[in-house]
A and B are shown apart, each in its own frame.
Chain A
Amino acid sequence: MSAETIQSRREWLLSDRPASRLQARLGRAYVSWRRFSANRLALVGMLIIIALLVVAAFADVLAPYSPTVGDLKNARLLAPSAAHWFGTDDLGRDIYSRIVYGARWTLYVVILVAIIAAPIGLLVGTVAGYAGGWTDTILMRVTDIFLAFPKLVLALAFVAALGPGIENAVLAIAITSWPPYARIARAETLTVRNSDYIKAVQLMGASPFRIVLRHIMPLCISSLIIRVTLDMAGIILTAAGLGFLGLGAQPPLPEWGAMIASGRRFILDQWWVAAAPGAAILIVSLGFNLLGDGLRDALDPRSGDQ
């Protein structure tokens, strides 16, 4: 591609008078991308998350050993070596392979929590914001009450009642993490509620249900995505904490928090058993934090550099 065509394409993207909706959208995406990619840390965050996705998708190819079955006879608690990059655990399982498969469980948790909690928050927030009055007061009071609770302790109590397990841990985290999304969705709803285009749709006879679903919710999505990305690290840490306390994923699942818990017994002599999964958690949460910060700065310039 010659320099001229690149130049003309950029002009097309940045045009003040887009000829089509597609051109306008691509142009805005391009501007956001330029802002995002100017932030080197944000790019690092994105690379970490892409790596996480790749590792989770190709775990079968990347892991040289089974994540659940080890060689108890010959390979117990080996130090890191060429054969076992991060050593082996007390059941003779290759820690590297377990971490690779653990990426799947980390993704499983964050994705499930996000698709449970974000829609709940979106629904509560948009309904409260659009309806106003008593509905708003009651829904927001409930939101504030949940917002005032200590999240981890409440999640602990929920899992204690529901019984340990990764599904229950997901449920407990989701129950405690929807309130900020409701607040954001309500704030966004309030800014558009009285705008002309909503009035126009109302005049055309659209039902409140349709207005909220088709005309308000889509506008809340971008700020919600930023917030969810920023929360991902917290979700991972809470899930790992529950796993560490034996309340999340149960053995022999290669969940990172549970792996740290099993390495705790040998921490003074075979520290690598606990060290590697913790480093994995740190890197992935760091990735989500960097990505979230970058997305916020790129998509929402108002709050930049805060």
Chain B
Amino acid sequence: MSVAENQAAAGRGSARAVAILSSLGRFLVVAVTTYLGLLAVTFFIGRVIPIDPVLAVLGDRAPTAVVERTRREMGLDLPWIEQFYLYVKAALRGDFGTSVLTTNPVMADIRRVFPATIELATLGTIIGAVIGVPLGVLAAVKRGSLIDQIARVVGLIGYSVPIFWLGLLGLVLFYAKLQWIAFPARLDVVYEYTFTPITGFYLLDAAIQGQWDVFHDAWRHIVLPAALLGYLSLAYISRMTRSFMLNELAQEYIVAARAKGLSETRVIWGHALRNAAVPMVTVIALSYANLLEGSVLTETVFSWPGIGLYITNSLQNADMNAVLGGTIAIGSVFIAINLLSDLLYRLLDPRTKAG
């Protein structure tokens, strides 16, 4: 070993620490500016685009006294910069105003509906990953084969299909014709009033309380919307898995592993897939974030009482506080998942240099 290499080896430990610190610092800067950007955009949408933001919040039927009071409460007489400062301060406290439609604080509404969305998106991502990853691996290993072609077509259709339309057709087939699933809602009316949720995730709650009839009913309601979202994420996950695996399978360590006499199963599932694991985690996280967003249309079709349905119901009633609060809520989680998966990728993968 030369002198230079010795020094390099000694410096490597601290260099790694510096790299991690700088990567955390960068993460903080990016996170803060991105959230400020999100708030700036919603501020712009709520306060700048409407000719009269008070009317946009209250609707045109509000009495004059209320309009005047709201105008002062919203601080519309202040300069824009100050208005934005107050807006950010309120948002950090979780104060997004009151919903006209439900008359609750928007934040309370969001807390109530968010678990339904999380439950749906989580189940969708699980379905997508459990089918998508093996499909992508097989497509890469048997490149050009029938299964590769099928995976490609399945993926392409997933990228091209309007999800709300597929949902409607699914309802016609599985609910109306075959009667395999329950009508659009979260639970049957019978259970709606007797079942007390704990976490807000009905499948989990029913299982904890051992109410298997409720579990079965909840399952019959969630299975189709979750399968549809799962299909969307499957399209994305299988395509990315295939691409990562092709990349890994072309590496020299694969040749070495084969030369050692390892079985093909170990080479593919043990060596290659394991090395593709870090980018795969990122892809699954991103697909989860996309499902949160994709739930807006799916929830509308399936009357699923989550944040997407909340936003579209509020839209129909020109309830801007609720619309923007919902946008910030989805946006925040979306951004958080994006940033965290990026950070995770930088920290876990030794090949990506921080900074």
B300 and A245 contact, CB distance less than 8 A: yes
Mostly, the B contact residues are: helix
Shortest Cβ distance from residue B353 to the other chain A in the assembled complex, whole angstroms: 18
Q: How far is the CA of A156 from the CA of B56 in the complex (A)?
A: 15
Given contacts A244-B164, A285-B160, contact A148 B172 (CB under 8 A): no
Contacts known (A161-B49, A271-B169); A241 close to B162, Cβ less than 8 A: yes
Across the interface, which residues of B come within 8 angstroms of A145, CB to CB? 33-34, 37-38
In the assembled complex, A281 has its CB within 8 A of some CB on chain B: yes
List the A side residues contacting B122 at CB < 8 Å: none
Interface pair B34/A278, CB less than 8 Å apart: no
- CB-based contact A154/B172 at 8 Å: no
Q: Which residues of A contact B292 (CB under 8 A)?
A: 150
Cβ–Cβ < 8 Å partners of B45 in chain A: 157-158, 160-161
Q: Do A153 and B169 touch across chains, with their CB atoms under 8 A apart?
A: no
Q: Which residue of A lies closest to B244 (CB)?
A: A306
Task: Assess whether B281 is interfacial by the CB under 8 Å rule.
Answer: no
Residues of B close to A285: CB separation below 8 A: 159-162
Asked if B168 and A154 sit within 8 Å, CB to CB, the answer is no
Contact residues in A for B172 (Cβ distance below 8 Å) = 267-268, 271
Min CB distance, A64 to chain B, in Å?
Answer: 25
Residue A4 is within 8 A (CB to CB) of chain B in the complex? no
Q: What is the size category of the interface that chain A forms with chain B? A: 35 or more
Q: For chains A and B in complex, what number of residue pairs have CB atoms within 8 angstroms?
A: 137
Q: Which residues of B contact A275 (CB under 8 A)?
A: 165, 169
Complex CA–CA separation, A158 to B315 (angstroms): 11
Which of A247, A257, A288 is close to B315, meaning CB atoms less than 8 Å apart?
A: A247
Residues of B within 8 A of A271 (CB): 169, 172
Interface mask (A278-290 → B, CB under 8 Å = 1, otherwise 0): 1001100110111
Asked whether, in the complex, the Cβ of B168 is within 8 Å of the Cβ of A157, the reply is no
Q: Which of A152, A157, A247, A268 has the most CB of B within 10 A?
A: A157
CB contact list, A134-193 vs B, under 8 A: 141-142, 144-146, 148-154, 156-158, 160-162
Contact between A161 and B312 (Cβ–Cβ < 8 Å)? no
The reply to whether A146 and B168 contact each other, CB–CB distance below 8 Å, is: no
Q: Closest 3 A-B residue pairs measured CB to CB?
A: A278-B165, A145-B37, A285-B160
Given A145-B37, A260-B168, A267-B168, 15 further pairs, Cβ under 8 A: A148-B334, A149-B334, A150-B292, A150-B330, A153-B296, A153-B331, A161-B45, A241-B297, A245-B297, A257-B162, A274-B168, A275-B165, A282-B162, A289-B156, A290-B156
A and B contact pairs by CB, cutoff 8 A, 7 listed = A149-B334, A154-B41, A156-B296, A237-B160, A245-B312, A274-B168, A286-B156
